[in-house]
């Protein structure tokens, strides 16, 4: 979702801010449009009436933009919007949008990402209906990512490492992970399959001679025909689909947690502690479920952490091993924003530990307005946890 880099520019140049009370309609699907909006405060539901039932497509919050699709595509409103709570909206006229797009490559990128994500959602939903499943979802993402790569402006190409080699598999994998819940092995399996079908080329480049580490790059020889060919192949040669779906039958941590009545962090910890057999590492769906059925119900409810020494701790869920006075001292230099980053990535035990070691006011805000859950690999989380761990170690003379 496009976020606040626009804030300063729009508040300077936009017409008056519009207010809507909860439940008020902002616009209806099918209406003509001449304005998009950025949410200054509150939240907005984008919805469609499907079979006479209101279906909310997405709830948008402060900093999000909506109503841009019809404006950019010169179409009618693709969905309706209503205030999900009292909200203040900054109208973005066509003129402002154009000025923003010209002035800020970052904004252009954000809006393209936002459009891609929305188109993708719609496409994925359509795909689910005709049973394309994960295979066609991944193909759609690759199609979008490759077009984004292929249409990179000339001056930007120079900034992309090895641009001429093709779309980096690493960057594609990161894009997919940010959109959807596919694991690296599923993505790899998908790429191998379409490579064998000669729908893509994969080039390799050794990054470092000493370490056998190879960067791979995707090239789609016929970009226009890529999706139509895939769809044709998928429906005509059912065996290919069947094989792909079979190979993609993996579960994520969250999936397995739901199926076993556990929590993702417990599953994660069990894997790390090697409570899981290695051959289930990527959770082949059938095998993992069969294996989990033999376990005592309690097995998935708790995880006993082996105690770690201060010198061994390494991530946000190791904060539990730092003694309270040290952690309290270390967190004193953290502002609320960084504490909330740590808190959002911590598991329950570590959340309690953080709350105990920050001031009461911060703790009560964190509890009453919990920040959105973050991925433990999130760079911000890594940065913050590294800092608090380093500070704690320094205080202990390590």
**Residue with Cβ nearer ligand CMP (41 or 78):** 78
**Residue with Cβ nearer ligand CMP (112 or 165):** 112
**Residue with Cβ nearer ligand CMP (46 or 90):** 46
Among 334, 343, 336, 273, which Cα is nearest to 303's?
273
351 binding ligand CMP? (CB under 6 A): no
CB of 83 to ligand CMP, least distance (A): 14
Restricting to residues 68-127, name those near ligand CMP by CB under 6 A.
68-71, 77-79, 81, 118, 121-122
- How far apart, in whole angstroms, are the C-alpha atoms of residue 354 and residue 256? 27
CB of 70 to ligand CMP, least distance (A): 3
**Residue with Cβ nearer ligand CMP (130 or 323):** 130
Q: Which residues contact 324 (CB under 8 A, 6 or more apart)?
A: 356, 357
Q: Which residues contact 115 (CB under 8 A, 6 or more apart)?
A: 68, 69, 72
Phi-psi region of 352 (alpha: psi -120 to 50; beta: other; left: phi over 0): alpha
Query: Could you give the string, one character per residue 46-75, with x where binding to ligand CMP holds by CB under 6 A and - elsewhere?
Result: x----------xx-------xxxxxx----
**Residue with Cβ nearer ligand CMP (77 or 351):** 77
CB of 163 to ligand CMP, least distance (A): 31
7: number of CA atoms within 13 Å, CB side?
10
CB of 61 to ligand CMP, least distance (A): 12
Query: Could you give the string, one character per residue 141-180, with x where binding to ligand CMP holds by CB under 6 A and - elsewhere?
Result: ----------------------------------------
Among 338, 352, 346, which Cα is nearest to 380's?
338
334 binding ligand CMP? (CB under 6 A): no
**Residue with Cβ nearer ligand CMP (46 or 319):** 46
**Residue with Cβ nearer ligand CMP (28 or 205):** 28
DSSP 122-134: HHHHHHHHTT-HH
CB of 350 to ligand CMP, least distance (A): 33
CB of 203 to ligand CMP, least distance (A): 35
| DSSP summary character for residue 311 | G
Two tokens, residue 280? 């289930």
**Residue with Cβ nearer ligand CMP (83 or 389):** 83
CB of 30 to ligand CMP, least distance (A): 10
| DSSP summary character for residue 373 | P
33 binding ligand CMP? (CB under 6 A): yes
CB of 66 to ligand CMP, least distance (A): 4
Q: What's the order of all strands across the beta sheet hosting 213-219?
A: 167-168, 213-219, 201-208
**Residue with Cβ nearer ligand CMP (121 or 295):** 121
CB of 20 to ligand CMP, least distance (A): 15
According to DSSP H, which parts of the chain are helical? 7-13, 68-73, 94-103, 105-129, 133-150, 154-157, 169-179, 184-196, 223-236, 238-247, 253-260, 264-272, 285-293, 324-332, 336-345, 348-356, 360-368, 379-395
Among 98, 131, 128, which Cα is nearest to 10's?
98
- How far apart, in whole angstroms, are the C-alpha atoms of residue 342 and residue 316? 7
Total of residues contacting ligand CMP (CB under 6 A): 17
**Binding positions for ligand CMP, rule: CB under 6 A:** 33, 46, 57-58, 66-71, 77-79, 81, 118, 121-122
């Amino acid at each position: 979702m496009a976020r606040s880099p626009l804030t300063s520019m729009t508040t300077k140049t936009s017409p008056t801010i519009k207010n809507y009370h909860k439940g008020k309609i902002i616009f209806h699907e099918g209406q003509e449009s001449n304005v998009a909006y950025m949410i200054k405060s509150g939240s907005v539901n984008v919805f469609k009436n499907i079979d006479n039932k209101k279906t909310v497509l997405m709830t948008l919050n402060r900093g999000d933009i909506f109503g841009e699709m019809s404006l950019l595509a010169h179409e009618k409103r693709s969905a309706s919007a209503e205030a999900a709570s009292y909200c203040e909206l900054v109208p973005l006229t066509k003129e402002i949008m154009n000025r923003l797009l010209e002035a800020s490559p970052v904004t252009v990128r954000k809006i393209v990402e936002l459009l891609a994500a929305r188109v993708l959602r719609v496409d994925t939903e359509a795909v689910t209906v005709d049973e394309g499943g994960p295979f066609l979802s991944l193909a759609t993402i690759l199609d979008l990512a490759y077009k984004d790569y292929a249409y990179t402006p000339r001056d930007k190409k120079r900034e992309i490492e090895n641009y001429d080699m093709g779309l980096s598999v690493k960057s594609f994998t990161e894009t997919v992970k940010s959109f959807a819940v596919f694991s690296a092995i599923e993505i790899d399996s998908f790429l191998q399959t379409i490579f064998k079908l000669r729908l893509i080329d994969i080039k390799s480049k050794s990054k470092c001679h000493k370490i056998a580490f190879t960067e791979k790059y995707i090239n789609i020889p016929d970009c226009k025909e890529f999706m139509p060919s895939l769809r044709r192949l998928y429906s005509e040669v059912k065996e290919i689909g069947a094989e792909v779906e079979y190979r993609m039958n993996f579960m994520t941590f969250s999936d397995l947690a739901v199926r076993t009545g556990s929590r993702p962090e417990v599953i994660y910890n069990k894997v790390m502690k090697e409570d899981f057999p290695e051959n289930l590492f990527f959770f082949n769906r059938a095998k993992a479920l069969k294996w989990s059925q033999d376990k005592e119900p309690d097995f998935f409810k708790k995880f006993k952490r082996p105690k770690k020494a201060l010198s061994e701790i390494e991530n946000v869920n190791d904060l539990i091993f730092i003694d309270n006075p040290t952690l309290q001292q270390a967190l004193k230099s953290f502002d609320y924003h960084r504490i909330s980053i740590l808190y959002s990535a911590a598991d329950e035990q570590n959340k309690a530990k953080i709350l105990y070691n920050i001031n009461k006011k911060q703790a009560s805000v964190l509890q009453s307005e919990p920040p959105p859950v973050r991925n433990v690999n999130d760079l911000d989380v890594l940065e913050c946890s590294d800092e608090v761990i380093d500070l704690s170690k320094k205080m202990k003379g390590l």
